[in-house]
Amino acid sequence: MQNKQWILNSFPVGEIQDNDLILRDSELNAINDGEVLIKNIYLSLDPANRGWMSGRASYVDAMKIGDIMRGGTIGIIKESKNEKYKEGQIVQYQGGWQEYCINEGKGLRLVPQNSGLDLPSFLSVMGMPGITAYFGLLDVLKPMEGETLVVSGAAGAVGSIVSQIAKIKGCNVIGIAGTEEKCNWLLRDLKVDGAINYKTENLKDRLKDLCPNGVDMYFDNVGGEITEAVINRFNIGGRMSICGQISGYNSETVQPGPRNWINILVKRLKVQGFIVFDYQSRAKEAFIDMSKWIAEGKLHHKNHIVDGLENAVSSLKMLFSGENKGKMIVRIAND
């Protein structure tokens, strides 16, 4: 059997180029005792993929040239020589950018069937971005009713869930996003209190208008100038949850920190970064609450699904141009 795989061909310099990854056919081996053969159905594309391709270790080991591109997947077990798993089970795991994966039965999470949710939801709201949003907001920022929260990247996979959970908790939520369509979605469907298009509006003025009593909390997905503008509006004792810094991921030079860092001192701000892996052992807490909110119609999500493994690179680039509308996912095979 043949297996199509995306291989890291070069470390990107700046924006990802088409030849940084190459699609190749390889021979699929027979499985050994203890192993399972999984057919990948959905592939999660995430901003973190860019960092993994850089050749530098971060919170995970660095990828090497020639490696199969790393990525979260949902797949179906086609054959099992592992007593814990059987044919036909659906699993979520790090299956990589490929059609098939042979796994030793490690790091597999069974996806509940008959949950009423479609499979891509387990890569978005009921997957890594959902856990990130839940704990990055509730554990790091500890929101209180009536407080004002600003969310950057607010219409994205993580930001859209953060915005809605904060509304559920009674906060005043202002979302920042890069298109009018995304801002309208935030206002009309997700019911945030204000939305700012940072590409067409004056961010500084709009933050002043929409946060007349200042900002108590900031959930940061992007960093850079957007973060600087929010820092200027903080109240004394404000809190920042640093989730992502996507505005700098394609940069070849180290980005300077916020130029108004002095505000951290003057306004006695608390700044905390976090990685979703820190909360893996508590994921169930998030899933219990979020499945309840979904069932009650209080939590919505949008998946942006592109067909075909061959379109993985062009789809990944959409995260950096802002063309994705919701969680970016590639459908590798029909479910």
Ligand X SMILES: NC(=O)c1ccc[n+]([C@@H]2O[C@H](COP(=O)([O-])OP(=O)(O)OC[C@H]3O[C@@H](n4cnc5c(N)ncnc54)[C@H](OP(=O)(O)O)[C@@H]3O)[C@@H](O)[C@H]2O)c1
Structure tokens at 204: 């500084």
Distance CA 120, CA 70 (A): 18
Least distance to ligand X, CB of residue 116, Å: 24
Least distance to ligand X, CB of residue 45, Å: 8
Q: Residue 120 or 153: which CB sits closer to ligand X?
A: 153
Question: Count of CB atoms within 10 A of residue 22's CB?
Answer: 14
Structure tokens at 170: 């009674």
Distance CA 222, CA 155 (A): 12
Q: Give the footprint of ligand X on this chain (CB under 6 A).
A: 46-48, 129, 132, 153, 155-159, 177-179, 182, 221-222, 226, 243-247, 274-276, 319-320, 322, 324
Token pair 């600003």 is found at: 150
Least distance to ligand X, CB of residue 83, Å: 33
Least distance to ligand X, CB of residue 39, Å: 25
Distance CA 202, CA 121 (A): 35
Structure tokens at 96: 């990589």
Q: Residue 111 or 158: which CB sits closer to ligand X?
A: 158
Distance CA 264, CA 237 (A): 9
Q: What SS3 class is residue 172?
A: strand
Residue 124 burial (10 A CB sphere; 0-12, 13-18, 19+): buried
Least distance to ligand X, CB of residue 131, Å: 8
Least distance to ligand X, CB of residue 278, Å: 8
User: Which uninterrupted H or E stretch holds 75?
Assistant: strand 73-80
Length of the chain: 335
Least distance to ligand X, CB of residue 197, Å: 8
Least distance to ligand X, CB of residue 109, Å: 16
Q: Residue 182 or 233: which CB sits closer to ligand X?
A: 182
Distance CA 150, CA 239 (A): 11
Q: Residue 12 or 153: which CB sits closer to ligand X?
A: 153
- Long-range contacts at 190-194 (CB < 8 A, ≥ 24 apart): 190/160, 190/163, 190/164, 190/300, 191/164, 191/167, 192/154, 192/163, 192/167
Least distance to ligand X, CB of residue 96, Å: 18
Q: Are 4 and 98 in contact (CB under 8 A)?
A: yes
Structure tokens at 264: 């951290």
Q: Residue 47 or 75: which CB sits closer to ligand X?
A: 47
Of 226, 194, 216, 219, the residue nearest 137 (C-alpha): 219
Q: Residue 99 or 153: which CB sits closer to ligand X?
A: 153
For the chain, how long is the longest CA-to-CA vector? 64
